[in-house]
């Protein structure tokens, strides 16, 4: 079986779960070809991502002339299918927030992609995320009759489900994967009941970098770590506010932000204004190995998100035996259970977040260790990459033409 993956931006620092999934399928004997709309080579810090970059073919790097040539040759070779794809591009573009011009570009990308897929004798196209790359896959399916499937993460797809024609993409797909039961429930909202039976749950997975060794003891130093892109939906500003409350109460702790993004300057300003330099550090982007090390150096991981699917960093933290403080949103409560392997607080509530962090600081180390062990056991059961890749392979085989 020869599978192709299409992602809008691949590889990407925050998308290590896609790389793990691809490698998990290859370990099962599947040939996986990598395609992406655009590249982010300048942002890559991990050697494993650089290897993936070298194996990935990029649509937009082909240039406008190549895309236009693909449109003309496809229109001549497959006129009926091309007109059908054009009609769908107009229909979807008319109702979208991106307009007809961009959907004309998606059609051009689909024309080029179909040439690559046919030349490589690809039997199935799989896409992560339901946004523009899913549109390209849907148009490509009309041009080639090669089936496609989608892994939907949220929340972006659900925030603008009508604008991205999510129901149309679900209906035309061979099958859909949701990364959690919550994600599946949201997909049920946006499709006809007749399509429910092709929506399945396959979790994002953690590999042996996080599950392959014995649990390391928790450090005695009270340290929190927060890992992820520094953006509004991740709740970093709220976390700084909670940390300010702890510092004002005279508590001893350190909070490490691992990541970068558009909010970094604002976060640094607030740290300075609140005189939190002794409590908060920002590291910038980190490799997988560095993320693992930051988790091992911390007692508790904090993910105060306002909107999510199910953060992979929560799986990574629990896999290393580090309890998690997070929010009652999306798929997070399917993995984090208050008092068992961490704490859950209402999203957007700095007081509750500070209270949970205070409770973690006052929790004896042996109890934190038991909570971390409980979290690791749950990740072993639900998020081991090899197990999830096997589930995905079964779906590819079930829905072959």
The residue among 312 and 45 whose pLDDT is bigger is 312
pLDDT tens for 260-307 read 999 999 999 999 999 999 999 999 999 889 999 999 999 999 999 999
Residue with tokens 């953006």: 231
pLDDT tens for 131-168 read 999 999 999 999 999 999 999 999 999 999 999 999 99
pLDDT of residue 95: 86
Domains (range + CATH), the chain: 2-205+384-398 (3.40.50.2000), 209-382 (3.40.50.2000)
- Kindly state the DSSP code that residue 62 receives in the 8-state scheme: G
What's the mean per-residue pLDDT of the chain? 96
pLDDT of residue 145: 94
* Cα(297)–Cα(241) distance, integer angstroms: 23
Q: How many CB atoms lie within 10 A of CB 393?
A: 18
Q: Is the pLDDT of residue 49 over 70?
A: yes
> pLDDT band at 242, cuts 50/70/90?
very high
Residues 6+ apart with CB under 8 A from 176: 149, 150, 151, 152, 170, 187, 195, 198, 199, 200
- Burial class from Cβ neighbours inside 10 Å (0-12, 13-18, 19+) for residue 214 reads exposed
> pLDDT band at 45, cuts 50/70/90?
confident
* pTM score: 0.94
Residues 6+ apart with CB under 8 A from 247: 274, 275, 276, 279
Q: Is the pLDDT of residue 173 over 70?
A: yes
Q: HSE of 188 in the Cβ direction (CA atoms, 13 Å)?
A: 10
DSSP string, 233-283: GGTHHHHHHHHHHHHHTT---EEEEEB--TTHHHHHHHHHHTT-TTTEEE-
* Cα(299)–Cα(306) distance, integer angstroms: 23
pLDDT of residue 191: 96
In angstroms, the Cα distances linking 139 to 11, 121, 145 are 23, 18, 10
With both helix axes pointing from N to C terminus, report the angle between 132-144 and 79-94 in degrees, rounded to the nearest 10. Answer: 150
* Cα(32)–Cα(203) distance, integer angstroms: 19
Q: Is the pLDDT of residue 401 over 70?
A: no
pLDDT of residue 112: 98
Q: How many CB atoms lie within 10 A of CB 132?
A: 18
pLDDT of residue 278: 96
């Amino acid at each position: 079986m020869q599978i192709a993956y299409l992602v809008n931006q691949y590889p990407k620092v925050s998308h290590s779960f896609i790389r793990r999934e691809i490698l998990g399928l290859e370990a099962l004997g599947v040939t996986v070809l990598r395609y992406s709309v655009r590249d982010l080579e300048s942002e890559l810090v991990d050697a494993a991502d650089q290897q993936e970059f070298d194996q990935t073919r990029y649509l937009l790097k082909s240039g406008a002339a190549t895309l236009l040539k693909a449109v003309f040759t496809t229109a001549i070779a497959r006129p009926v299918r091309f007109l059908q794809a054009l009609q769908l591009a107009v229909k979807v573009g008319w109702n979208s927030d991106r307009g007809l011009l961009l959907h004309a570009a998606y059609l051009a990308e689909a024309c080029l992609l179909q040439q690559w897929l046919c030349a490589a004798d690809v039997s199935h196209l799989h896409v992560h995320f339901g946004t523009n790359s899913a549109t390209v896959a849907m148009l490509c399916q009309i041009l080639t009759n090669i089936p496609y499937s989608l892994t939907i993460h949220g929340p972006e797809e659900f925030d603008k489900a009508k604008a991205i024609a999510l129901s149309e993409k679900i209906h035309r797909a061979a099958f859909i994967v949701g990364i959690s039961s919550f994600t599946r429930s949201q997909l049920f909202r946006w499709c006809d009941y007749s399509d429910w039976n092709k929506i399945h749950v396959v979790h994002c997975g953690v590999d042996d970098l996080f599950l392959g060794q014995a649990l390391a003891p928790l450090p005695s130093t009270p340290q929190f770590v927060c890992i992820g892109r520094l953006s509004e939906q991740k709740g970093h500003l709220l976390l700084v506010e909670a940390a300010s409350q702890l510092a004002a109460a005279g508590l001893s702790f350190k909070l490490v932000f691992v990541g970068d993004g558009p909010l970094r300057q604002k976060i640094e300003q607030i740290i300075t204004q609140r005189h939190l330099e002794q409590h908060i550090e920002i590291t910038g982007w980190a490799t997988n190995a560095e993320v693992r090390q930051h988790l091992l150096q911390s007692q508790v991981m904090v993910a105060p998100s306002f909107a999510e699917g199910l953060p992979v960093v929560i799986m990574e933290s629990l896999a290393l035996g580090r309890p998690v403080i997070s929010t009652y949103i999306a798929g997070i409560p399917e993995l984090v259970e208050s008092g068992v392997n961490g704490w859950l607080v209402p999203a957007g509530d700095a007081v509750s977040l500070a209270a949970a962090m205070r409770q973690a600081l006052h929790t004896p180390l042996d109890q934190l260790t038991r909570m971390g062990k409980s979290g690791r056991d749950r990740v072993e059961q639900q998020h081991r990459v090899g197990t999830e890749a096997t589930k995905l392979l079964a779906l590819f085989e079930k829905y072959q033409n």
